[in-house]
Amino acid sequence: MVKASSMFKSKRPQQRPHQGPVKAKAPQRSFRNLIYLENYISAREKDEIFDFLGTLYPIWEMRYSKHNPPPENQKQRPLLRPVYWLGNWQFACLNYYHPPKGIYDRCVTAERYPPVITHLVQKIETLIKETFDPRDLPRGWNLNTCLINYYGDQIHEDDKRLDCARVGEHKDFEPGPVASISFGEKALFQFVSSKGTESKSQVVLQQWLEDRSLQVFGGDKFKKQLFHRVQRVDRKSGIRYQLNEIENFETRRINFTFRFVPDEHIVPYFKLKQTAQEDVREYMEKLASHSNFFAQQLISPPAKKSEG
Ligand SMILES: O=C(O)CCC(=O)C(=O)O
């Protein structure tokens, strides 16, 4: 069990679904399989991570594609935010990693972690191994996959802003604990219980994720039973990140979530099935325009010489 400073249970979830933070003085509590640590990332590590972020060009993905069209009653739509993946890229239109059935043709080999992230991930893995029940750590578990989420405002042509700094309720299906580090404006992160689309979700637990904080969650309750979401991102500090320009977007929070995908389910682009290659080709080309790694991935491997 690890101290989850200022993590608090929603007082009256029945009466107050979807209403943002419950105004209660946050008590110090401990939860099994849940860690929240403020100031976990040092100022120096943050600087190094931001130097690295300055080399990335995040992309806006569409949720669906030619070979994975929207289901009935749904439309094609862009994700709410630009993203970048390290370790492997789970394109939205390939439906993300979702065991037990959705494990092939979903995770595409991506760039490795830079040294500052490798070092941090080792520290986080050690913390998790020391504090989590070993039964909640799948065989071979390590944090080899990272999703970088950019949160902020979309700026429209008439200069109108659309605050799209949130994530709807969902589960992360990668096995084992997920770790997340946050930078910039604080975000209201909520665990919610949901009984389907008809009834409103109930906030079970919520936490403001502060700049330089670490959050880890795992186990049946937080990973398998509850959903989680980012309800909103504050703007009180006035933070605006000037990284590589994301067209018509103003970033005020950046979050890294680290996950585990078994290596055997991560494949280079050219090993994806043809339809999946076709669906993500445009994204790969966009990434390749700024990254030697992705440019190399688009070069077909030399055909194997036939024996004899
Ligand atoms: O931004 C966050 O704190 C959480 C992001 C998240 O839920 C996800 O990437 O699955």
For the domain made up of 2-10+52-297, give the CATH fold.
Jelly Rolls (2.60.120)
Kindly report the protein residue whose alpha carbon is nearest to atom 4 of ligand 1: 230
Domain ranges of the chain: 2-10+52-297
Ligand 1 centroid to 64 CA: how many Å?
A: 20
Residue 130, classed as helix, strand or coil, is helix
For ligand 1, atom 9, the nearest C-alpha belongs to: 257
Helix pair 43-53, 115-131: axis angle to 10 deg = 130
Does any ligand 1 atom lie closer than 6 A to the CB of residue 179? no
Contact 268, 109 (CB under 8 A): yes
Region of 144 (left: φ > 0; alpha: ψ -120 to 50; beta: rest) is alpha
Cβ 204 vs Cβ 9: under 8 Å: yes
Q: Ligand 1 centroid to 59 CA: how many Å?
A: 17
State the CB neighbour count (10 A cutoff) for residue 168: 10
Per-residue pLDDT of the chain (308 residues; tens, 9 = 90+): 344 444 555 544 333 333 333 333 443 455 889 999 999 999 999 999 999 999 999 999 999 999 999 999 999 999 999 999 999 999 999 999 999 999 999 999 999 999 999 999 999 999 999 999 999 999 999 999 999 999 999 998 888 999 999 999 999 999 999 999 999 999 999 999 987 666 789 999 999 999 999 999 999 999 999 999 999 999 999 999 988 778 889 999 999 999 999 999 999 999 999 999 999 999 999 999 999 999 999 997 766 666 54
User: DSSP characters for 158-200?
Assistant: TS-EEE---EEEE---SSS-EEEEEEES-EEEEEEE---SSSP
Do β-strands 227-233 and 187-193 pair in parallel, antiparallel, or remain unpaired? antiparallel
The residue nearest atom 8 of ligand 1, judged by CA position, is 257
Instruction: Work out which ligand 1 atom sits closest to the CA atom of 172.
Output: 10
Candidates 79, 81, 207, 255: which one to mutate for ligand 1, based on the most atoms within 8 Å of Cβ? 255
State in Å: Cα 21 to ligand 1 middle: 18
CA–centroid distance, 263 to ligand 1, in Å, is 22
**How far out from the chain centre does Cα 143 lie?**
12
Q: How far is the CA of 216 from the centre of ligand 1 (A)?
A: 11
Chain mean position to CA 55: 19
Q: Is the CB of residue 20 less than 8 Å from the CB of residue 203?
A: no
**Ligand 1 site, residue 172, Cβ cutoff 6 A:** yes
Ligand 1 centroid–CA 255 distance in Å is 7
The continuous run of DSSP H or E covering 219 comes out as helix 219-219
Instruction: Please indicate whether residue 291, judged by its CB atom, sits closer than 6 Å to ligand 1.
Output: no
Answer for the pair 29, 208: CB distance below 8 angstroms, yes or no.
Answer: no
Q: Which is it for strands 266-267 and 107-109: parallel, antiparallel or unpaired?
A: parallel
Q: Is the CB of 149 under 6 A from ligand 1?
A: yes
255 lines ligand 1 (CB under 6 A): yes
Give the phi and the psi of residue 92 in degrees, each rounded to 5: -55, -40
pLDDT of residue 243: 83
